[in-house]
Amino acid sequence: MSDKATLEINGKKYEFPIVTGSENEVAIDIKNLRGDTGGVITIDPGYKNTGSCESAITFLDGEKGILRYRGYSIEELAEKADFLEVAYLLIFGELPTQDELNKFHSDIKKHAVVDDDVKKILDAFPKSAHPMGVLASLTSALTAFNPSSVNVDSEEEMYNAIVRILGKFPILVAWTMRKKHGMPLDYGSSSLGYVENILQMMFKRPDEDYTQNKILVNALDKLLILHADHEQNCSTSTVRITGSSHAGLFVSLSAGISALWGPLHGGANQAVLEMLEAIKEDGGDTKKYMAKAKDKDDPFRLMGFGHRVYKNFDPRAKIIKKAADEVLGDLGVEDPILDIAKGLEKEALEDSYFVDRKLYPNVDFYSGIIYRAMGIPTEMFTVMFALGRLPGWISQWREMRMRKEPIGRPRQLYTGETQRPFKEISKR
Ligand code: ACO
């Protein structure tokens, strides 16, 4: 392949370098386009064809259904690693040795406490507040109690900011749920594993010891690993672009949480369950909802189907579908919602509308079903996604800052009014 791409505008030719990634993906480097051409830009709403950065963290091939973190396949990581190992791998680039992992966990535990004044902020929210709004606010509020900016040239400062947020974030997650249920806030126990402690912080009743259920621990561990990173999606790009102004880590993460909240992104897992509930309430007629999803005059979409990059299948969905069957089987859960989900899945996979558009179930079609079986309320599903995505956001933010990337500032094609004289209010 040629190492240059040629662009012709008004009879004049411009050459741009072609760059290739380590998996032979090809990109045209247009950094000099505007300068060379005297103002021409590219336009690509939704960034379907635009690479915003070079990254060495996550590789995915949507056509082949491949997802790898730092070169390791998601299938192997989900089977053989735990969430904390995967977090370390994403952030620092290599799987940790046992000693490195022990130190990492022990450093995280040292920071697994939040300033008691954070409780006052949490108290000020009404119980009806959506947990994602509360989580975004509390994550941002942490800045008030911690150093706001990190010297990216200091490895120690970077490391401390990372273990600090990995320690504090699960507490905020658990507290948003306990607040909703009027449960006293709990700090869990430093003797537990990272994921066990999350479950204890979320579910421990004040009057009882909490007994860990291995099936739930494994299921949550797997779910968190599957959600841990997904290269330049909406929330991750938000974290990178917010951090590119040198805003601190915590506020950049808070921006990512807000971006994740939307139903077309992380909010889909909540939307899936709400959709399944609505179908059940409406008599369980999946065919009716399939017809609505295909009707161009109806805004209804089959939530949990389709993906911007996976146009074959979502490899995470395959793993999670198996985990969902195991968890529900082991817990002995019989749920009519699950039958509706299976019915919709079967119909969609055989329907030419979905087949032709390559719309397959995505990870969020199944994750909500597992969360529900675990006793996690629907409104908390996207919060659980944020918990899983935290190491991905951190690693992407760290990469962006360490590479000293410039501030993110896209261009636009202006389509508004040209210059016109001001009209006095009496003449409008
Ligand atoms: N139900 C019905 N039709 C759909 C669906 C769906 N879930 N998804 C896409 N389509 C149709 C569109 O109407 C469009 O049809 P057309 O070509 O006849 O106009 C075609 O498929 C392509 O859809 P786009 O919206 O252009 O695809 P895009 O890549 O922009 O969107 C998205 C991907 C947002 C995920 C979309 O499939 C969707 O809305 N899915 C439901 C929400 C969801 O599950 N989101 C979770 C994503 S995974 C995650 O964030 C972890």
Over residues 327-333, the mean pLDDT reads: 84
CA–CA dist 76, 82 (Å, integer): 11
Neighbours of 270 (CB within 10 A): 26
For residue 66, the cross-strand partners are 61
Per-residue tokens: 255? 């921006």
> Which of 89-98, 171-180, 303-312 shows the lowest mean pLDDT across its residues?
303-312
Question: What separation in Å is there between the alpha carbon of 311 and the centre of ligand 1?
Answer: 11
CA–CA dist 357, 350 (Å, integer): 12
The answer to whether 363 touches 78, Cβ cutoff 8 Å, is no
Closest to 303 in 3D by CA, of 312, 292, 313? 292
The answer to whether 135 touches 176, Cβ cutoff 8 Å, is yes
Over residues 384-403, the mean pLDDT reads: 97
Residue 267 pLDDT exceeds 90: no
> Residues lining ligand 1, judged by CB closer than 6 Å?
264-266, 268, 293, 301-308, 357, 359, 362-364
Question: What separation in Å is there between the alpha carbon of 52 and the centre of ligand 1?
Answer: 22
Q: Provide DSSP, 218-280.
A: HHHHHHHHHHS--SS-HHHHHHHHHHTTT--HHHHHHHHHHHHTSTTTTTHHHHHHHHHHHHH
pLDDT at residue 183, as a whole number: 92
Question: Between β-strands 72-73 and 66-69, what pairing exists: parallel, antiparallel or unpaired?
Answer: antiparallel
Residue 321 pLDDT exceeds 90: no
The answer to whether 62 touches 311, Cβ cutoff 8 Å, is yes
111 is catalytic: no
Residue 155 pLDDT exceeds 90: no
Most informative mutation of 50, 237, 264 for ligand 1 (most atoms within 8 A of CB) = 264
Per-residue tokens: 179? 């607040």
pLDDT digit string (tens) for 197-237? 999 999 999 999 999 999 889 999 999 999 999 999 999 99
Most informative mutation of 276, 279, 307 for ligand 1 (most atoms within 8 A of CB) = 307
Residue 288 pLDDT exceeds 70: yes
Q: Provide DSSP, 273-308.
A: HHHHHHHHHTT--HHHHHHHHH-TTS----TTB--S
Question: What separation in Å is there between the alpha carbon of 55 and the centre of ligand 1?
Answer: 26
Residues 43/36/23/73 CA torsion (nearest 10 deg):
-50
Spatial strand order of the sheet with 4-9 comes to 4-9, 12-20, 26-28
Residues 136/140/145/151 CA torsion (nearest 10 deg):
130
pLDDT at residue 148, as a whole number: 66
Residue with tokens 């730092």: 70
